[in-house]
Amino acid sequence: MTEKKSPLTGFSSLAIHGGHQQDPNYAHLTPLYASSTFVYDNAEQGMRRFSGKEEGFIYSRWGNPGFSEAERKISAMESFGIMENGSPLELKALLHASGMAAISTLMMMNLKAGDKILTHFSLYGGTEELIRNLLPAFGVEGIIADLRDLNLAASILKSDPAIRMLYIETPANPTIQCVDIEELSRMARERNIIVACDNTFATPYLQQPFKYPVDFVIHSTTKFLNGHGTAIGGVLIGRDIEFMKSKAYVTHKTLGGNSNPFDAFLLINGMKTLEVRMERHCANAVQIADFLATHPAVSKVNYNGLASHPDYEVAAKQMRHPGAMMSFELKKGLPGGIEFMNKLRMCTRTVSLGTCDTLLSHPASMTHYSVPKEAREKYGITDGLIRMSVGMENVEDILNDLSQALE
Ligand code: PLP
């Protein structure tokens, strides 16, 4: 199977053609290889495949043609336009069953008892649960600090030699806080600390963490990369190809967090439209943030494209556009949040993000219902906070729906 090799200058051309190899039966799109295992012509071939002397698929937990195509496409997008030592940056991705599976592989392959992870306090809840409550059972401790304060980050990194990994998520869930990837990764690199960045909210179209000394990038592909809300998935991408092919691959296949052919197929086709989708999502988001910022029922808008957002400059430095995620606080608190959610007509009431339709959630009555008020407020999750993933509908319709629900 050959891959089209002509140099592509545009992101969409790469997103559409990158990673594709001609199917041996000349199908236009890579078909679904819905097969748990792959066969050998003879015992010798089986031996060559298992010993790694011959390339080829063995067992779908270990790899599948659809997973490989998705992995090549994501690697191509994350490295698009980045040069290192005079050559295009080469990356290797491993497709997973979910974002959390990719993050679990990341932790298991890099950390051991006695190690510590330094991370920012605004993180996706599942990642925080892993760092705060699950990893300590394996002797790995999390240090959760405000990494927007670079002096604080420097002093923590300097004072604790047990820190083995810096883990960042930017923009972060649900406050849309951003941390400085360049400065933090440079500080960590000086101390030989592994740097991992969750790029789910931004996508490689808006932000490429590998421009900086970042070792690993993670995505929940469930979100903007798939783009249509049709499948759960995740990916772990690394710049040390040998490490990705050895320790990372072995950890991934042994933990068993593999994807499946159908979800990989949906992801491959979703990713082809990433640029056009993100352009529309972001253009809509800018207009909606402006509308909300002056609305009398709204006390605060968290959107990194507004000059009032504390991380506006950091976001502008490292992102192509401010993104499609925002949150805002209603003056009427908990009852106001419930009333607003109930009045929505077109926009969708749900968690998750990154789909064609606009999604809204009210953390205090939904995702964070069981978290005590004081605990969630520490992270900016107030009673009246609404999280919004801005969709690709015509912006007038989104504005009309929000406007009538805010009345
Ligand atoms: N990272 C971020 C920023 C997320 O928002 C999520 C899920 O919402 C995850 C990771 C986990 O991804 P998944 O749900 O695909 O396991």
pLDDT tens sequence across 327-376:
999 999 999 999 999 999 999 999 999 999 999 999 989 888 878 888 78
Predicted confidence at residue 15, as pLDDT, reads: 98
How far does residue 286's CA lie from ligand 1's centre (Å)?
A: 23
How far does residue 125's CA lie from ligand 1's centre (Å)?
A: 8
- What is the distance between the alpha carbons of residues 353 and 127, in angstroms, rounded to a whole number? 16
How far does residue 178's CA lie from ligand 1's centre (Å)?
A: 16
Q: What are phi and psi of 333, to 5 degrees?
A: 60, -140
Q: What are phi and psi of 387, to 5 degrees?
A: -105, 140
Greater model confidence, 170 or 379: 170
- What is the distance between the alpha carbons of residues 6 and 374, in angstroms, rounded to a whole number? 56
How far does residue 83's CA lie from ligand 1's centre (Å)?
A: 29
Whether residue 5 is predicted with pLDDT greater than 70 in this model: the reply is no
Average pLDDT over the chain reads 96
The one-letter amino acid code at 6 reads S
Residues 6+ apart with CB under 8 A from 395: 283, 284, 287, 288
3-class DSSP state of 301: strand
Residue 263 near ligand 1, beta carbon < 6 Å: no
Whether residue 381 is predicted with pLDDT greater than 90 in this model: the reply is no
Residue 261 near ligand 1, beta carbon < 6 Å: no
Residue 361 near ligand 1, beta carbon < 6 Å: no
Q: Which domains, from first to last, does the chain contain?
A: 11-269 (3.40.640.10), 274-406 (3.90.1150.10)
The one-letter amino acid code at 21 reads Q
Q: Tell me the C-alpha to C-alpha distance, in Å, between residue 51 and each of 40, 62, 158.
A: 13, 14, 44
Predicted confidence at residue 23, as pLDDT, reads: 95
Q: pLDDT above 70 covers what percent of the chain?
A: 99
Closest residue (by CA) to atom 11 of ligand 1?
Answer: 99
Residue 389 near ligand 1, beta carbon < 6 Å: no
Mean pLDDT of 216-223: 98
DSSP 170: S
How far does residue 206's CA lie from ligand 1's centre (Å)?
A: 18
Atom of ligand 1 nearest to the CA of 126: 11
The one-letter amino acid code at 333 reads G
305 near 286, Cβ under 8 Å? yes
Closest residue (by CA) to atom 2 of ligand 1?
Answer: 124
Atom of ligand 1 nearest to the CA of 102: 16
pLDDT band at residue 277 under the 50/70/90 scheme: very high
The pair of three-digit structure tokens given for residue 235, joined into one six-digit string: 């990916």
Among 218, 220, 260, the mutation site with the greatest number of ligand 1 atoms within 8 A of its Cβ is: 220
Residue 354 near ligand 1, beta carbon < 6 Å: no
- What is the distance between the alpha carbons of residues 252 and 262, in angstroms, rounded to a whole number? 19
302 near 122, Cβ under 8 Å? no
Predicted confidence at residue 4, as pLDDT, reads: 62
Atom of ligand 1 nearest to the CA of 201: 3
Predicted confidence at residue 2, as pLDDT, reads: 54
Closest residue (by CA) to atom 13 of ligand 1?
Answer: 99
How far does residue 124's CA lie from ligand 1's centre (Å)?
A: 6
Residue 128 near ligand 1, beta carbon < 6 Å: no
pLDDT band at residue 6 under the 50/70/90 scheme: low
- What is the distance between the alpha carbons of residues 184 and 168, in angstroms, rounded to a whole number? 9
Predicted confidence at residue 370, as pLDDT, reads: 79
